[in-house]
Amino acid sequence: MTEKKRDELITQIKDNESDFIKFIYERLGIVIKTHQTHELHKTILNAYHKFNEEPKEYLDKLRDCQDHSPLLEHLISGVTVGETYFFRDKHQINLLKDKILIDIIQRKREENNLSLRIWSAGSATGEEIYTITMLLHELIPDIDKWRLSLLATDINMESLKKGVAGLYGEWSMRSIQDYFKRRYFTQFNKEYSFSQQLKELVHFDYLNLNEDTYPDIFNATNAQDLILCRNVFIYFDADKITHIMKKLNACLMPGGYLLLGASDPVNITGTDFIFHHHDGLVFTRPQTNDQPIKIIKTIATEKMEPVPPVCEKIDKKVIAKPEPISNHLDQDKITEMLQSTNWQEIINMIDQTILNDSNASFLLSIKATALANLGKLSEAERICQSSLALHSTNKDMYFTYALILIELNQLTEAEKLLRKTLFLDHQFVPAHFQLGLLLLRNKQHEVGLKSLRNALVIAKSKDTQEEVAGSHGLRYGQLVIMLKHEIEIHTSSGNINYVDQNA
């Protein structure tokens, strides 16, 4: 490139800078601050070399492209920092291994519930979730008896693919102890491969925190025991932070933890979070009966009145369940609540509605989903069984039941139910999607990818703004993007060639 051409491009970049910043905020929710504009300029300049697109043309095409587009992924990679490493921030790691994880594990044992659900939101290349996985194996001697759901999400596809591969250089290993390095990694020259056994416990997925596709059993973001969202809020403004905090609040089980970075800006308005400060920003949701957290010194909680969790007993007096009072259900109201993830309100509304042949199957399917999203899997499973005994051709109930069994790690039975769902409706996209993920989890790469491709073909034939049956608020346009990302991630990890001719 000549110096004259470079100067022309720099001028164009500066002329369109505000439009790029506006686009990034509207599309991703990310705020580009003054000190970050240099990286933005560099990314736009690199786009000229990579795609032969001048700044104005690049911006015009970004406005029209899908989230899966290489153009947008190049921009995301440039404006988000994917730099992380194992055992990052010693103080927070000590907080996790000495207090938070110990508390969760002990509480689960007391409840006789050997399950853990942990989500790394903004996972980058996976070092954080793999660090948690190693800590769990050190802290739980009988971990083979536990049911683990370990989720890592990000908007940067290149980072997600590196996480799935689990191959790291010296820079990622700079803070790890030799013990963990020897036990959980295999070294190849200057690269380190993470334990295949532990790697298979983690599911990497594309998720934009700026969207309203969570919490939901559909993408396993519901009923979390621990969410790590460290150094993510630095990208958002106050309004986005408030919205995301409400969503993360709804993703946590009572007694669950949210861990942020020490410098992350926060706003807990509209949540029932209890704030703790202990070498970082820690929040908990109130436990049953509002039992205090014993292991962390609480500050500034006297002025904050947490909303008590819903339960059937208050002061040892049994509250009778409401009697059905109506045979009419406001469809618009329940749609609104589904989109706002008010699961308990949905259950209360259904419990006050008279069930009859015309609405029972539909309402029970929604109630089972709501219970599952609250982590009440046993109750949800009973609803599914009772409903299917009455309505043996309800594909939605078979699908919901399959998702519940996946969370319960009953994968063989879950696969049967997904295939039953597809027998009843072969065009049911969510069932193809979940079957594909299940088969990939069971190391059946080719048939798993085939199911994902089937889902993609059907999803692309739908109106992009139409809501996906079996989900809550997810549009077909969003699902197409999710499917393309899943296929890309697993094609990379499984070394299987796949080209989407209609991308």
Percent of the chain with pLDDT over 90: 55
Q: Point out the least confidently predicted range of 167-171, 246-250, 272-276, 293-297.
A: 293-297
Per-residue pLDDT of 75-108, as tens digits, reads 988 888 766 889 988 888 999 999 999 999 999 9
Please give the pLDDT value at position 323: 52
Instruction: Answer for the pair 130, 166: CB distance below 8 angstroms, yes or no.
Output: yes
The pair of three-digit structure tokens given for residue 354, joined into one six-digit string = 């008279």
244 neighbors 233 (Cβ within 8 angstroms): yes
Q: Determine the number of helices (DSSP H) and then strands (DSSP E) in the chain.
A: 21, 12
pLDDT at 335: 67
- Under 8 Å between Cβ of 12 and 54: yes
Burial 236-256 (b: 16+ CB within 10 A, else e): beeebbbbbbbbbbbbbbbbb
Backbone angles phi, psi at 270, to 5 degrees: 85, 10
Task: Using the predicted structure, report yes or no on whether residue 297 has a pLDDT greater than 80.
Answer: no
- CB-based contact 458:426 (threshold 8 Å): no
Provide, for the chain, the percentages of residues in helix, strand and coil under a 3-state DSSP scheme, each rounded to the nearest 5: 55, 10, 35
Cβ within 8 Å of residue 114, ≥6 positions away: 108, 145, 146, 147
- Contact yes or no for 320/336 (Cβ under 8 A): no
Mean pLDDT computed over 277-303: 54
Report which secondary-structure segment, H or E, holds 131. helix 127-139
CA Rg value for the chain: 23
**Amino acid identity of 274?**
I
Q: Is the pLDDT of residue 4 over 70?
A: yes
Q: Residue 306's pLDDT is what?
A: 38
Q: How far apart are the first and last CA of the chain?
A: 31
- The two tokens of residue 299 are 């500050």
Cβ contacts of residue 49 below 8 Å, gap of 6+?
1
pLDDT exceeds 50 at position 241? yes
Six-digit token string for 65: 């492209």
Q: For residue 452, how far is the Cα from the chain centroid?
A: 19
Going from the C-alpha of 213 to that of each of 216, 305, 458, 475, the distances in angstroms are: 7, 28, 20, 9
The span from the CA of 139 to the CA of 119, in Å, is 18
CA dist 197 to 185, 202, 286, 491, Å?
A: 11, 10, 34, 19
pLDDT of residue 278: 66
The mean pLDDT value for 106-126 works out to 95
Helices (H), 185-330: 196-199, 238-251
* Residue 380 clears pLDDT 90, i.e. is over it: yes
Give the sheet arrangement for strand 281-284, strand by strand.
202-206, 147-154, 115-121, 224-229, 252-260, 281-284, 274-277
* 418 CB burial (10 A radius; 0-12, 13-18, 19+): buried
The token pair at 447 is: 């048939």
Least confident of 192-206, 311-325, 363-377: 311-325
Report which secondary-structure segment, H or E, holds 135: helix 127-139
pLDDT exceeds 80 at position 171: yes
Rounded Cα distance between 314 and 136, Å, is: 35
pTM given for the model: 0.81
pLDDT at 338: 67
